[in-house]
Amino acid sequence: MPTDLHCPRITTSSQGLQLSRIVAGMWRMTEWGMTVEQRVGFIEQCIALGVTSFDHADIYGNYRVEGLFGEALRAQPSLRNRIELVSKCGIKLVSPQKPAHSIQHYDTGAAHIVASAEESLRQLHTDRLDLLLIHRPDPLMEFDEIAEAFTALRAAGKVLHFGVSNFSRHQFECLNRRIALASNQVEFSPLHVAPMFDQTFDGLQDVGVAPMIWSPLAGGRLFSGNDGHAENLRLVIKQIADELAQPFASVVFAWIMQLPCRPIPLTGSGRIEAVAVAVAGTSFKLSHTNWFTILRAARSHEVA
């Protein structure tokens, strides 16, 4: 792993929230099989790369990931002031951890938002979240009620900034008019380019808010997808990566971050080498020709 890599920081909006340009996604932490000491070591290695932002949700790992991460912060309290903690709420899973949940559903009522945030604080062993997101749009969500819950959490010092995840442009703007949002975390990759064309990215660029990106490598399908589209896209990216002498995944991260809305990709790996490859994508830009070559392969047709 190169020793000179260091991830830059980005201000996500006029609200002043700063995150690392690459965010470490924790949703698979229960699968990593790490001891508390190994979790502390992984966090420290991320920080050494400049990756100081860690993405959570209350439901990750069947409601267990935040607790695992919190054990690391309890073991090494000095880590907390060196990192940014992101979490999400609003989904209720059917789980042995939550016996009262009889059906998977959404809850974006004020009481649930506040209770979820407070439980995340307890699990993460911290006194504040840097960013709290509504995890999914809820057909029953009331924008005024969400804004009131966010305002109360901020006034209590429990959450510093707020945002959403998987919201459309219109949904984002409805809530953003009521309380300023710092991000919209959405799925995007060369195998899922919809936000580039459905006004999601255009709308965020217009209001100066940087999106966070989940599944930038399409859940691994860029490496292993065996359909014709994925295979052709993989060959195109590999050819560009070979020409640039850069890792395949670094080229994908660079391609995503070149968009003018300033996307902030998440990693999903417990391997520090994979995090370093993502960080390497911050160190170079693609030529217009290479960028559009990947877009052409992603869409399977030329631009008009």
Q: How far apart are CA 199 and CA 195, in angstroms?
A: 6
Question: Pick from 141, 134, 177: which is nearest to 159 by CA?
Answer: 134
User: Is 60 one of the annotated active-site residues of the chain?
Assistant: yes
Q: How far apart are CA 197 and CA 287, in angstroms?
A: 21
Burial code of 80-116, b = ≥16 C-beta within 10 A, e = fewer? beebbbbbbbbbbeeeeeeeeeeeeebbbbbeebbeb
- Report residue 18: phi and psi, to 5°: -110, 130
Q: Are 8 and 50 in contact (CB under 8 A)?
A: yes
Give the rounded distance of the alpha carbon of 301 from its chain centre.
29
Q: How far apart are CA 110 and CA 148, in angstroms?
A: 7
Question: Pick from 157, 195, 148, 213: which is nearest to 175 by CA?
Answer: 148
> Which candidate in 42, 54, 60, 255 is catalytic?
60
Give the rounded distance of the alpha carbon of 243 from its chain centre.
29
Catalytic annotation, residues: 60
